[in-house]
Structure formats: C-alpha cells, structure tokens
Amino acid sequence: MDFTKEVDLPLGIPCLDFKMPSIGTLPSIPLPGGAEIKALQSFADSIPTDCSLNFNIMLQLGPLLGSMACLLKILKVVGLLGEFFGAFVPIPNLPKAASAAANIVPAIADLATCIPALAIIRIVEMIKAIIQIIIKIIKCVIDQIMSIVNILSHIDLSIAFGNPALDSALNCQKDNAQTTLQNIMALIEALMPIIMMIQTVASIAGITLDPLPDLSAMVNVNDPEGTVAALQGAITTFQQIDAGLNPNDYLTPDTPAPSDYTDIA
C-alpha cells in the first residue's frame, strides 16, 4: 500500500486523534470448584472496553447459576448423608439419625428432577457442542490475527521521512494494530477455564478424553505467525477429540435416545 498517495492527513491530527484502548486484565469470577469464568468480547461487534467486558461476564452469570442448581442439590444430599452417618459415630444417636433421615428423603426427591440432566449421553452431547464452538472461536481469532498481521506488513514508516504528520499517523496506526493484536490474543485466555471445565466434567462422568490443548501456552504476541500455526494445530486436536466422541457409545437400555444435534465446526 502506498501511503503517500492514499493517506492525506492534516498536520496536528495524527491517526484522527484515536488510540486503540488496551483491555488489560480480563474480568473474572472464581467458581466453587476452583475454576473461574472470564469475560469474552467479540471483536466482530465492537472494540472491547472495560464496561463491555464486565457486562459480558454478568451475562454469563445467569446461565451459570441456573446450571448450578442441580450441583447445589447434590451437595445438600451429601451434607445430609454426612449428618446421618455422623449420628452413629462414635456413639449411635438414634434421635439425631432419625431427624437427619427425615431431611434426606425430601432432599433426594428434589434431586430426582436433576437425574435426566445428569445422564452421561447428555454430557457427551454438551461436551461435543462446546468443543465445536471453541473450534469456531479459534478460527475467528486466527482470521483476526492474520488480518492485523496483514495491516502491519503494509505499514512502511520510511515513506513518512520529512512528513511529521504522516509519520505520526503511521506510528499511531501501527501502535493501534499492535494493541488490537494483544487484545485479540488476550481473549484466548478466556477459553482456558472452559477447556478445564470440559476436562473436569468428562472425568467426573467417566468420559475418556485425550488431553485438551493448552491454548494459553500457544500465544506469543511477538510471533503472531507462530501463534497462528500453533492454534491451527489445536484446531486439529479438538476436531479429533470431537470426532471420537459418539453419544451412541453411551446408550444403555435405560437411557433415552440422544437428541439430534448439528455439528457447527
């Protein structure tokens, strides 16, 4: 691109007085199990800001708290069972045991409504869907990184020699492109808690998964092309894991047929 022909900025208005904001540390909320959720903002909609990232993480809380309902019911039953068996140690306390037993029955009945959601086949479908979405997001990130790399490759500061306004504009454009690149790569970090939760849920449900890629270890702001190559390798790994997950493998005589789902990757 020949900026001497295509850029004509008046003196004193470098880069239209606009500087790309850095999103800094992503807002996060710790979860009871030790993981955490992080804010995630799409560059396709707008430039992420501190406000938009905090609103994003709040939007994630509703579905998250709803999904925790069954977990809290399980913890309640476990707590009551502990209270019941504790009534026999070290000396049996029958009145205490009877009181605990009376509380266990309705708690288990309440938990029964969660059993369909805990069927392994549904968990397999959920994991597949999440992996497919992660693949799509990684592909979007790769496209964004390559777009910024292309912009940076066409910024030639040497053409601004003797033209302070053009030099300032080009440096501003370069700084904004590099800041955008850093922000995009920072969003990769937001996927890691989700990947860790996939591994944890699969382990609890007895679903065998190959080790999931550590995306955070692949990010290198100083080597965007290397980052892209590593992320492309991660996509291949995720696709292999997704292909190896077949809900029908977990069908039992007592398990309802899986609902239809559509691969989106």
Q: ω into residue 164 within 30 of 0, thus cis?
A: no
CA separation for the pair 249, 189 (Å, rounded): 32
* Full-model pTM: 0.60
Can you read off the two tokens belonging to residue 166? 């053009």
Distances (CA, A) of 227 to 53, 154, 179, 238: 24, 20, 16, 16
8, pLDDT greater than 50: no
Region 93-100: what's the mean pLDDT? 80
The answer to whether 152 and 174 have CB atoms below 8 angstroms apart is: yes
> Model confidence over 102-137: pLDDT tens digits?
888 888 777 766 766 556 777 788 888 888 888 888
Region 46-68: what's the mean pLDDT? 68
Q: Tell me the range of 2-16, 26-40, 204-218 where mean pLDDT is highest.
A: 204-218
Closest CA to 149 of 214, 215, 220, 218: 220
Q: State residue 156 phi and psi, 5-degree precision.
A: -115, 100
CA separation for the pair 96, 99 (Å, rounded): 5
Confidence of residue 12 (pLDDT cuts 50, 70, 90): very low
256, pLDDT greater than 60: no
The answer to whether 245 and 128 have CB atoms below 8 angstroms apart is: yes
258, pLDDT greater than 70: no
pLDDT of amino acid 1:
42
Question: Dihedral sign, CA of 204, 208, 214, 215?
Answer: negative
pLDDT of amino acid 232:
93
Mean residue pLDDT of the chain comes to: 75
